[in-house]
Amino acid sequence: MSQLWRFEKGDLVCAFAEDVGGLWIIANGSLISHRDNLEGRRMIQGIVMPGELYGIAPLFDGKPALTAVSAREPANLVLLPREPLIMLLRENAARLFEFALYFANRTRVDYERAQIGLNNTLRCQLAKYLAYFSGEDFYPLLEGAAFDWEPPIMVTQQEIAGMMGVSRQSISKLMTMMVRQGVLRRRGAQVCVTDYLKLLAFMEEDEPIAADWRDAMLMRHDVLVKHRGEMAEAKAPRQSGPPSQAPKPASRLHLVAGDHPDGGDDGREAPVTAPDRGRLGTRARR
């Protein structure tokens, strides 16, 4: 029943208002969901990442595609044709419920994304997109990878600008500001999240975010801090000789001017305030 399809970067998977053909599963690579206006400007509706599904609404209502979808990079997709899949779901209530649950979760994500543009400043909007698109490659830390690593942003500035409806220059200016304040760090061609608490502060500067999203951000912060401690311990030179020759630990930590964006030596950074964790309660691991 299933069909394996290969698309190269830029290939059109499905045009706007055309028949989707069934349910698409992204095996690897990623897709861009977009609409083009009369002037030819591409408005990005979203990015479909590996493991996600495309075409759930047309699968059930039989209507044409809501957006056009193109390959963002070389991608392998599995197509489950509509009619055989619908027959299977009618006979299996458990599978049908799984699809309904996925569709409900997807609807929540789409609703949150719609609210981002309505209620938030550009900086707050950008922080939420950065949080969302730095989560796809967070698994190496959760699996205990033993290498120096920070969560990269898996989309380009141009793609974020397309989703937010602003110029790439506006996104570049905001991200440069976040780099100066220690929220992000440039690493070669990539931009990585280096401080999830500061990013969370930007995300909540206009309004509180959903509890499960906040818990996920705090979990990422804890895992990243633990990983950095393990990396520092692994890189530290091993002591040799009798214990009496080992250096005494410092009685306090002396901060050096320049360690913080404001150039101070008191450990404070005025532009960003970390969220208060004392009022949270138990964190849920997603």
Query: Which residue is listed with tokens 């699968």?
Result: 59
pLDDT the model gives residue 258: 36
Q: How many CB atoms neighbour CB 176 within 10 A?
A: 13
pTM, full prediction? 0.69
The CATH number linked to 58 is 2.60.120.10
Q: What is the rounded CA–CA span in Å between residue 155 and residue 73?
A: 11
User: Both 12 and 86 in a single domain?
Assistant: yes
Q: Kindly tell me if the per-residue pLDDT of 40 is higher than 80.
A: no
SS3 label, residue 152: strand
Pick from 77, 82, 86: nearest CA to 3: 77
Q: What is the rounded CA–CA span in Å between residue 79 and residue 88?
A: 15
Mean pLDDT for the stretch of residues 22-33: 94
Q: How many domains does the chain have?
A: 2
User: Both 205 and 158 in a single domain?
Assistant: yes
Q: What is the rounded CA–CA span in Å between residue 35 and residue 21?
A: 19
Pick from 162, 153, 163: nearest CA to 109: 163
Report CA torsion sign: 120, 121, 127, 133: positive
Instruction: Give 73-119 pLDDT, tens digit per residue.
Output: 999 999 999 999 999 999 999 988 998 898 888 888 777 777 777 77
Q: What is the rounded CA–CA span in Å between residue 65 and residue 45?
A: 13
Q: Which domain holds residue 40?
A: 3-92
User: Both 231 and 125 in a single domain?
Assistant: yes
In a domain, 232, yes or no: yes
